Chain A
Amino acid sequence: MQAGSASSEPVVRAESLRHTYDGKAYALDGVSFDIRKGEVFGILGKNGAGKSTLIKAMTTLIRPTSGGLTILGLDPARDGQRIRERIGVVQQGESFDFTTVQGNLDIYGVLWGIPKQERVRRREDLIRRFELEPIRKQRSFDLSGGQKRRVQVAREMMHDMDVLFLDEPTVGLDVIMRRELLDSIKKEVRQGLTVVFTTHNLEEADYICDRVAVIDHGKVLVLDTVDNLKSLYGGKKTIEVTVAGSADAFFEALKGRLGTEDSLKAEGSSGVVLTSDPKRTLQLLLELAHETGAQLDWLNVRKNTLEDVFIDSVSRSTE
């Protein structure tokens, strides 16, 4: 690990960041945040929310249209190469050379200028840690989706870095391998690595992230520690409801009669209500079922998760 920035200085600082591809719509629309050294920072958002654009900006692949951005105290517009020498990136899509798993690790080590002896040591360590021994001689393009992800993450660990950007790293992994991967990332974080992590999987964000930013339509909707976000909604409960018949009318009526602090996310015959008054909301559901002729098939009241925070913030932003 190289010497990082002073601990007081954020590793990533974005200030009113905006980016447009076509001069009309903004993929990033005034994004501001700081990422501190040694934390796991999660970026949550649905497809098209602006996550990939944000990652591209932070990894110097695109230059934001306006706003301020520093990575490790450096300006990407001026010091792109110096930044890239100190970051690691695991892309969402696959990226391999036409060679074996071992060959891919070796070539990556060469590209990063790792001396041969050290390269072999790291390669063997990663093959062991990521359980790649049975596939080390296989061509990377012949691997299963999960194996490819493991190789991509392992390959990135071939070189030293101060910040690791992981774009949906656990897609295609089984539950055990996902947990092992997250644990290995946690281990790196304990050694001082800063991780920026995008995911759709809110359980894993809950498991690994210190802070999360929920983004939608290029804006940061909420940004806080996972614990704070959950406690913000601590007084609330989530009610899951499934109805048969007149679902549209039922959810339309429900939306109009929920309290201002409550929110609804409905899709087809199912809906999720985040409410501060579950007793009153349950009563309301029964009344509306009667009024609209809908039949309540299933009701479930439970504690909030990070997923509820996410759904609530996104649904409020689209109202």
Chain B
Amino acid sequence: MRLMYRNIVVNIDPGTLVILIGLPAMYLVFFGYGFQSLVPASSGSSYLRYLTPGIMAFQSVMAGTVGGSLLWADRRYGMLAQLLVGPFTRLQYLLGIMFTSVVFGLTGAFVMMIGAYALLGSLSLTATGLAIMYGTIVLGSIFFGSLMLLLSALVKSNNAYNSIQILLIFVVNFASTVFYPYSDSLPLPIRALFEINPLTYVANAVRGGFAGALTTADLVGEAVLCVEMVVALFLATRAYMRSNVSFE
């Protein structure tokens, strides 16, 4: 808890919040209204309603970047060594980062939901739907937190870390069902990316929760997500526990 408090306090500066909340909020507003014009008015469909759960799911990626950046900054600016000679174990530090990611994921998703309510005027959500949505965001935040931790444990250069992170966010975001549905008309490599991308499963399940019920495909997707999360968490923990901690 103490580590989580510290992680949150050092991450709630205005610049970080703009990136964590402002960027997805801008997606919601600009894409929500921009792409609505492509949907025929006669269809009665709302792209914003489609996009909202996608953007909520995307918050799990943003939450993951918080975790990765924390480890990266702590390693680079000496706080990791300082904390590990304090009253904490390596595992506690890792858990602190994971819980922080989850808190940011849940908070970001909640803010997006409030934003969508303001834009749409109404949301019809059930308790089960909310539980599915936020439970899935927890899984997604742990997955992407692990992925970014793995990255920050393995990559040594600041430029490489930032470049890989930006590339990952782009690929994960746009090769998923956050902004548009999966389609058989997509080229094969992109379809393959959609299918292995955990964000697809997060977005589908959150969308299912948004609608009030999960389909069989969503349930299978949740299971795949759980497996991917466990693998990512295992790899990240192993890489982090084996990494060298230096005073210099």
Residues of chain A having any CB pair with chain B under 8 Å: 52, 55-56, 59-61, 80-81, 84-85, 87, 89, 91-99, 103, 107, 110-113, 141, 165, 167
Contacts and interface: CB of A to CB of B under 8 A. Distances in A.
Given A98-B10, A99-B9, A110-B2, A92 B248 contact: yes
A98 B82 CA distance: 14
A80 B77 CA distance: 23
Interface stretch (B83-91, B101-109, B138-146): B83-91
Given A60-B85, A112-B87, A167 B247 contact: yes
B79 A96 contact: yes
Interface in B83-124: 83-89
Of A84, A89, A94, A95, most buried by chain B (CB within 10 Å of CB) is A95
Nearest to B89: A81
Top 8 closest A-B pairs, CB basis?
A95-B78, A95-B82, A89-B85, A59-B85, A85-B87, A97-B10, A91-B247, A93-B78
B231 interface: no
B237 to A, nearest CB: 18
Contacts of A111: 2-3, 6, 83, 86-88
Contacts of A87: 85
Nearest to A84: B87
A277 B78 CA distance: 49
A107 B5 CA distance: 9
Interface in B217-248: 245, 247-248
29 contacts: A52-B248, A55-B247, A59-B85, A60-B85, A81-B87, A84-B85, A89-B82, A89-B85, A89-B86, A91-B247, A92-B247, A93-B247, A93-B248, A96-B77, A97-B10, A97-B79, A98-B73, A99-B9, A99-B10, A103-B9, A110-B2, A110-B5, A111-B2, A111-B3, A111-B87, A111-B88, A113-B87, A141-B77, A167-B247
B100 to A, nearest CB: 13
B14 to A, nearest CB: 12
B81 interface: yes
Given A81-B88, A85-B87, 17 more contacts: A80-B89, A84-B85, A84-B87, A89-B82, A89-B86, A91-B78, A91-B247, A92-B247, A93-B78, A93-B247, A96-B78, A98-B10, A110-B6, A111-B6, A111-B87, A113-B2, A165-B85
